[in-house]
Amino acid sequence: MAVQLSPKIVVLIKLSGHNVTAIDLGGSGINPKQVLEVPRLSDYFSPLMDFLTSLHAHEKVVLVGHSLGGFAISRAMESFPQNILVAIFVTAVMPGPTLNATTIYSKDWALATMLVRPRYLYNLEDISKVMALSSNRYGSVRRVFIVAGEDKQLTKEFQQWMIERNPPDEVKEIPDADHMVMMSRSLQLFTLLLRIIHE
């Protein structure tokens, strides 16, 4: 299962024999909701939460989140840890029990991100409520972070800052990838995703 991956990578993953469900979060991609219809963080997450709610108890998925999608897969890890085989953060925000989501959201990059595409600036109270993450649920899911070495939006320094404060199980890097790694280095990302899935 993938969140926010390019059609090319979705096709490659399907051709490699895996089922893929590409989910655009509220007000993103081809999601029919407009930005003004996504006033709360939970509205932004709802397509992913609805999908995970539909799974059978024994079904396991691999979650891939990019950029702000890291908030969504973090929330999913807290809510559905039993259904997640691995969560992969592709140059994505990565809060956790030791790194509060409001701290990440308050960083300067948040404003820059919002200027690229119109979206709500969620209030810190909403973020604190929705993004309460625990060691026993969120922390029970295997977590991999993929660093995009040439990301100008979530800089390599910012990515390292999150990794140091909320260490994942593994860190991989695509040194020459920009923020849109699924476009700039699609084959490297595809190869890395398959390697992580099969470890």
Whether residue 179 lies in the annotated active site = yes
Burial of residue 4, with CB atoms counted within 10 A of its CB: 0-12 exposed, 13-18 middle, 19 or more buried: buried
Alpha-helical regions (H) of the chain = 7-15, 41-53, 69-79, 101-106, 108-116, 124-130, 156-165, 181-184, 186-198
Backbone angles phi, psi at 64, to 5 degrees: -125, 120
Whether residue 67 lies in the annotated active site = yes
Residue tagged active-site, from 6, 46, 66, 151: 151
Whether residue 43 lies in the annotated active site = no
Compute the distance between CA of residue 84 and CA of residue 77 in angstroms, rounded to an integer.
Answer: 7
Residue tagged active-site, from 6, 67, 74, 186: 67
Task: Take residue 20 and report the two structure tokens written for it.
Answer: 């893929």
Residue tagged active-site, from 6, 74, 179, 186: 179
CA torsion angle 19 46 131 82 (round to 10): -40
Task: Take residue 148 and report the two structure tokens written for it.
Answer: 């995009």
Secondary structure class of 192 (helix, strand, coil): helix
Active site residues: 67, 151, 179
